[in-house]
Amino acid sequence: MLKDQVIERFHREFGPPERSTAKVTAFKAAGLGIVVQIDQPNREDAAYVWLPYPPDDQPVPEIALEYAGDSGRHSGTHASAGLAQGLPALKLILRSAAELNDVVAYIKALAGKSPLPVLNTTPPPIRSSAPDADSGPVLVDINAMPIAKPPAPRRKAIPRAVQREVWQRDGGTCVQCNSKKLLCFDHIVPFSLGGSNSVRNLQLLCEPCNLSKGNRI
């Protein structure tokens, strides 16, 4: 299972767990708390990794949900450095070994207070096999070549002042179902579609409502 792979990899990269319970396995990297959730998910081969919230000017992984400080997030995170109750946090949802590699690099940069990388969640393109050496030159029609895609935008962390204003405006409840549990910030216009971190473009959703929305407006 991917959860087992994540725990084994974190053990190699960051040393033995500092805490293991029936619900979480916690690690520490240069004073940074890292929590792998054990009790969830149960219905898919994925892994939930909790990390402290990055600085405002640093990027947030596209595979992360952004939790406010008082959002009722997983209580098993509170004992870890940087994840105390009342502090904002990230919940990364990993679904592949490639994402695990990227998350390890992200954690090392976050722990080392280095510029954070943009996590690549798109699988690399499949390359065709190279032509035989004796087959001669291959003619390429440059007019048929695809246009290069622009660099992916950096999804920056939501400033704390904006988080507080959105939390107060929405009354600390999910705007869809009025739940007060597992509340995270949702971009009304997704960041990948040009949405911003403005108060007008953010709303509080509980985790189930957020995940059911996906990348829709």
Burial 52-81 (b: 16+ CB within 10 A, else e): bbbeeebbbbbbbbbbbbebbbbebbebbe
Q: Do β-strands 202-206 and 89-94 pair in parallel, antiparallel, or remain unpaired? A: unpaired
Q: What percent of the chain has pLDDT over 90?
A: 65
Q: Which domains does the chain have, with CATH numbers?
A: 1-119 (3.30.1460), 158-217 (3.40.1800.10)
Distance between CA atoms of residues 20 and 176, nearest Å: 35
> Across residues 148-175, what is the average pLDDT?
86
Model confidence at 133: pLDDT above 80 = no
pLDDT at 125: 43
Which of 118 and 31 is assigned the larger pLDDT?
31
Which of 132 and 71 is assigned the larger pLDDT?
71
Distance between CA atoms of residues 74 and 182, nearest Å: 8
pLDDT at 128: 47
Predicted TM-score (pTM) of the model is: 0.80
Q: Is 76 helix (H, G, I), strand (E, B) or coil?
A: helix
User: Of 148, 150, 146, 155, nearest to 201 (Cα)?
Assistant: 155
Model confidence at 70: pLDDT above 80 = no
Half-sphere exposure of 128 (CA within 13 A, CB side): 3
| Secondary structure (DSSP) of 148-171 | PPPPPP--BPPPHHHHHHHHHHTT
- In the chain, DSSP assigns E strands to 19-20, 24-29, 32-37, 47-52, 64-67, 89-94, 183-187, 202-206
What's the one-letter identity of residue 22?
A
Check residue 31 and give left, alpha or beta (phi > 0: left; psi -120 to 50: alpha).
Answer: left
Distance between CA atoms of residues 25 and 38, nearest Å: 7
pLDDT at 23: 96
Contacts with 174 (C-beta within 8 Å, 6 or more apart), sequence order: 180, 183, 204, 205, 206, 209
How confident is the prediction for the chain on average, in pLDDT?
A: 87
Do you find a cis peptide bond into 88, omega within 30 degrees of 0?
A: no
Distance between CA atoms of residues 211 and 91, nearest Å: 12
